[in-house]
Structure 1
């Protein structure tokens, strides 16, 4: 491994300045109506957002101004924005003339409409601050960071959380360019998902520094992202690098050293990377997701750092979103599979290019397991449709059923033909919203081209609109996991745990093994598993989560200390929700444990995670 050198922020290359893109189109077909936004973009829409905000860590609010550029019909006299508990001091036109505004009835999930009487104004200035409980913002005390000395702030916008700190039209179908000036305490660094104009910051008031950012491409507003903390940078190559807290920098950069190769592999598959730099920010453990595809700056959970690169597929996934999701975006969250299904398929192709067919097959085979799990667990058939409910499909079906759909097309038409189509698809719809109906129309026009036999073979409408899994679904099988299945047969037949060799197992092999064990186990067998494999003390959060779910299902008391240590140390929903759900299922044994540990862990979780767990355990 080559030695990596720490450089200053000033050394980070800046993308050459370009004029902001012309406004992206909006879709006005019935299926493109976003029921989770109050906006009426066909009358008046936001085209650019300029933020000038200060991060007040003591009050836990962002305060300042948002200046909005508006494109409206000549006779439009108002614009409707999305608002979630913003504290608005006033709204003016560009000349400072006060404008009338009202906030409508508040919905617990959607927030409220913010209606501004713009008259002839096409630029408005909103002076406001966020609420301390803003659903997008995670404010962390120093104790919840790696360094334990300085506070931390990060945002998570997807799907409709950014309306809690940015007054705009918070819909993925209303793409906007944006810019920002963020002022923070001078011992902290601010990062955003955009070109970094002042990487080293610039003096503001005594004790404060400001950082300026610019995104000239139109993006869905959920991709506006912010992080503030004690952060350092380490380059990987000319256009990629890692940001994280100083104590974690060397470890994180080593684990993610293939990031530049991933960008090269992605470009070789589906065309030019269009966002300038691609950096990764590894956040504190409270980050609720594996990763978030914020342009130029993927946000990532530290749980992917396991020392063996077996979980860097998360980075491949977020990178792939630079095409599917960021470049071509679901117009509404009813079509979230257009983001996640495409990206999961693309991610697997990057993994294959870098790590070989068997690694890619292993990941795809595990996703098939998840697909079957969610199809069985879905509350109703409608929840399994790709074009589905406003919040998307059940569980991970937008990822797993969506990617299986695309893989099935690949197998039907051949990889070369499919890859050529996908490359052209991303080019045709770059920086635009998309719907399921729009994608199917594009497929028929540019891939099927009137071939009735191919149309019948692909079953496009059944995949997109029908529940369940079509009969032509392709299941990729892994030889690696087949060996684990053989091991499981022996263990489940009574073979000693000490007879198996786990020294070279990847995270994926561990998960296949642990999840393949019968849910009913004796205390003696659980003890043998734990002592032999060190499960309760595993530093790998994926392994620990899977083990704890099994232990809890059997009310295994020796695992209680491990539960108490694990839950406050990880904030990723994928890993902690199953543990809390397993505890709840154990009623009088599990609920006291869940509530006790949650009372300790709650202050370190992101607001979206807190909301979910409050409902689960309330």
Structure 2
């Protein structure tokens, strides 16, 4: 893996090409820091510009089968094109006229899959006939009993960061943007949705064999990880002229109520940083096994049901995924070494949307909790001024500690806002998204743009910002900005009284938002007596909480104290909820408790694993195996 100094990056960084029309192939960056070590592709020789999918969804075999038609842009002397695949059964590859092309599949890498090398023989379009395997890492096939309706099966994909190569043979790198279209044929009683424009209506086209065909089109070049779909017993509710929500029938009313402000969010985001360029903004609420809070698939954000708590206190997740329509989907990290360009920008932008809709105090509450999370991650992965490599924003792919790409990245931008002033900063960011629309970006490229279009040679401003230290150094620079919340300060006083021996019955939680709950529960010292924990659970109803965030925070505390009365609640929760943010800490906490916790973790994981998305299951398996190898 490469380690590049900031100065070297700046010296080699070439200016990005001017913004391209959405219908034109997006440029590929070729500067050293833009080389993606998580792909087998050589896009500077031959690259995919468009993907056309025609796939049959087979719930019996748990496979997708059909064709992928790839449009190719190649150098005149290009002999072949290299694609990414992960355990696909390839039947044939031809050119557009049906002429067979020679191809080979390289050795399997456990992390990256295999290189599929196709001899072009002059072709600029190739057609791959293939079928996925039942264990495809991007796909989760759910039996009826794991859905809300309990009667029909469900399937969804999760491509980020490099899982889509398990169902699409293409160049699976965020820096190789591609337009795409798709036809999905599904059982006649199910509905297919995708992260693209619908061409066949909400109900698709009825076929003579009883199945249904759904057609989709994305005419804007996107990174391949954003190609996403779901198939299930889905219903739709419109929320406004540009937005709506898909989910199973039993969750539709609650979801529509929870996300009622989405049109206002779109307006607020557009007022801040330019027009929403994707047409519609629909949402899909998935079953509880969905591994993330949300996934920003363009035109169809995927969301976990755990954010539906009836008080809209977790709609910051919706604001976050919407903000990705600018930072991530519109301007994308060229490699996963620079994931903060997606997540840090988006976390900052999310907070600005929440402030515009709900006021400064609510935004301050989210920012204050993000600061707490950042300080925990910095302590774990290197300390406030430590040298831990995982506390750097730019580094090896996937190497950022905890959520530092979110929290440290957003604080970096908040620091710039405070230093230069909000009006000047907002004008810069709006122009930044315009300049680099539908293009990949690197840390070096962003800093170069910042220096050219905001700092403009101001040596004093350059010195005060400490840009290279933020981007490339470990720890936290001394100009970080801590926004504090008055709402959480009240919780802190309640927490202090409880920590000083006050009764749990004195803790009045009526009207608490999720954020207030988390401030209180996460602030309780980890060393508690069984009697104190029983009192707390009895007074606040923690083991039976319907708020997944509250339940997870309580179970973390209970596990830290080996509090066995909470184990039934842990079992019910961990076999029902698959969101990694909420269950990974529980397994990690169990493994920290020696033989007592390790036995519980292994037994629980054996039972719960079939309910988890493959990516979540792999993460938890690493937690358990890592703890075992560490002794």
Q: TM-score, normalised by structure 2?
A: 0.94
Q: C-alpha displacement at 1:484, in angstroms?
A: 1.0
Q: C-alpha displacement at 1:256, in angstroms?
A: 0.8
Q: 1:308 aligns with which of 304, 308, 311?
A: 311
Q: 2:243 aligns with which of 215, 218, 240?
A: 240
Q: Deviations over 1:66-100 (max 9, x none)?
A: 00000000111100000111110010000111100
- In structure 2, what is the equivalent of residue 106 of structure 1? 108
Distance between the aligned counterparts of 1:333 and 1:420, measured in 2?
Answer: 27
Where do 1:148-167 residues align within 5 Å?
A: 148-167=150-169
Where do 1:28-47 residues align within 5 Å?
A: 28-47=30-49
Q: C-alpha displacement at 1:592, in angstroms?
A: 2.4
Matched, 1:361 2:368: no
**Partner of 1:569: helix, strand, or coil?**
coil
Distance between the aligned counterparts of 2:321 and 2:234, measured in 1?
Answer: 21
- In structure 2, what is the equivalent of residue 128 of structure 1? 130
- In structure 2, what is the equivalent of residue 404 of structure 1? 411
**Partner of 2:290: helix, strand, or coil?**
coil
Distance between the aligned counterparts of 1:181 and 1:367, measured in 2?
Answer: 41
Q: C-alpha displacement at 1:332, in angstroms?
A: 0.2
Distance between the aligned counterparts of 2:349 and 2:423, measured in 1?
Answer: 14
Distance between the aligned counterparts of 1:205 and 1:102, measured in 2?
Answer: 37
Where do 1:262-411 residues align within 5 Å?
A: 262-378=265-381, 381-411=388-418
Q: Deviations over 1:280-304 (max 9, x none)?
A: 1000000000000000000000000
Matched, 1:472 2:479: yes
Distance between the aligned counterparts of 1:158 and 1:152, measured in 2?
Answer: 20
- In structure 1, what is the equivalent of residue 80 of structure 2? 78
Q: Is the 8 A contact 1:336 1:392 kept in 2?
A: no
Q: Is the 8 A contact 2:22 2:438 kept in 1?
A: no
Q: Is the 8 A contact 1:584 1:590 kept in 2?
A: yes
Q: C-alpha displacement at 1:205, in angstroms?
A: 4.4
**Equivalent residues, number:** 600
Matched, 1:216 2:219: yes
Q: Is the 8 A contact 1:64 1:129 kept in 2?
A: yes
Q: C-alpha displacement at 1:260, in angstroms?
A: 1.0
Matched, 1:551 2:558: yes
Q: Deviations over 1:95-132 (max 9, x none)?
A: 11110000111110111110000120000000001111
**Partner of 2:521: helix, strand, or coil?**
helix
Distance between the aligned counterparts of 1:558 and 1:298, measured in 2?
Answer: 38
Q: Deviations over 1:456-513 (max 9, x none)?
A: 0101111111111000011111111111111111110001111121101110010010
**Partner of 1:391: helix, strand, or coil?**
coil
Distance between the aligned counterparts of 1:567 and 1:350, measured in 2?
Answer: 32
Q: C-alpha displacement at 1:20, in angstroms?
A: 6.4
**Partner of 1:276: helix, strand, or coil?**
coil
Where do 1:598-613 residues align within 5 Å?
A: 598-613=605-620
Distance between the aligned counterparts of 2:195 and 2:279, measured in 1?
Answer: 11
**Partner of 2:266: helix, strand, or coil?**
helix
Gap regions ≥5 residues in structure 1: 1-18
Distance between the aligned counterparts of 1:533 and 1:137, measured in 2?
Answer: 38
Distance between the aligned counterparts of 1:256 and 1:314, measured in 2?
Answer: 10
Distance between the aligned counterparts of 1:153 and 1:570, measured in 2?
Answer: 16
- In structure 2, what is the equivalent of residue 418 of structure 1? 425
Stretches of 4+ aligned residues off by more than 6 angstroms = none
Distance between the aligned counterparts of 1:31 and 1:284, measured in 2?
Answer: 38
Distance between the aligned counterparts of 2:451 and 2:268, measured in 1?
Answer: 28
RMSD across aligned C-alpha pairs, in angstroms?
A: 1.0
Q: C-alpha displacement at 1:597, in angstroms?
A: 2.2
Distance between the aligned counterparts of 1:531 and 1:410, measured in 2?
Answer: 45
Q: TM-score, normalised by structure 1?
A: 0.96
Q: Deviations over 1:185-232 (max 9, x none)?
A: 010000000001112201234121110000000000000001000000
Q: C-alpha displacement at 1:392, in angstroms?
A: 4.2
Distance between the aligned counterparts of 2:617 and 2:207, measured in 1?
Answer: 34
Q: 1:429 aligns with which of 433, 436, 452?
A: 436
Where do 1:497-512 residues align within 5 Å?
A: 497-512=504-519
Q: Deviations over 1:558-586 (max 9, x none)?
A: 10110111001100000000111111212
- In structure 2, what is the equivalent of residue 16 of structure 1? none
Distance between the aligned counterparts of 1:251 and 1:596, measured in 2?
Answer: 34
- In structure 1, what is the equivalent of residue 574 of structure 2? 567
Q: Is the 8 A contact 1:392 1:398 kept in 2?
A: no
**Partner of 2:282: helix, strand, or coil?**
strand
Q: Is the 8 A contact 1:34 1:331 kept in 2?
A: yes
Q: Is the 8 A contact 1:335 1:392 kept in 2?
A: no
- In structure 2, what is the equivalent of residue 6 of structure 1? none
**Partner of 1:613: helix, strand, or coil?**
helix
Q: 1:615 to 1:291 in 2, by over 3 A?
A: same
Distance between the aligned counterparts of 1:183 and 1:517, measured in 2?
Answer: 52
Gap regions ≥5 residues in structure 2: 1-20, 626-631
**Partner of 1:495: helix, strand, or coil?**
coil
Q: Is the 8 A contact 2:70 2:127 kept in 1?
A: yes
- In structure 2, what is the equivalent of residue 458 of structure 1? 465
Matched, 1:447 2:450: no
**Partner of 1:446: helix, strand, or coil?**
helix
**Partner of 1:213: helix, strand, or coil?**
strand
Q: 1:583 aligns with which of 590, 608, 621?
A: 590
Q: C-alpha displacement at 1:596, in angstroms?
A: 2.3
Q: Is the 8 A contact 1:333 1:392 kept in 2?
A: no
Q: 1:521 aligns with which of 528, 532, 549?
A: 528
Distance between the aligned counterparts of 1:445 and 1:588, measured in 2?
Answer: 57
Q: C-alpha displacement at 1:615, in angstroms?
A: 2.5
Distance between the aligned counterparts of 2:289 and 2:208, measured in 1?
Answer: 31
- In structure 2, what is the equivalent of residue 4 of structure 1? none
Distance between the aligned counterparts of 1:555 and 1:580, measured in 2?
Answer: 13
Distance between the aligned counterparts of 1:328 and 1:74, measured in 2?
Answer: 29
- In structure 1, what is the equivalent of residue 252 of structure 2? 249
**Partner of 2:240: helix, strand, or coil?**
coil
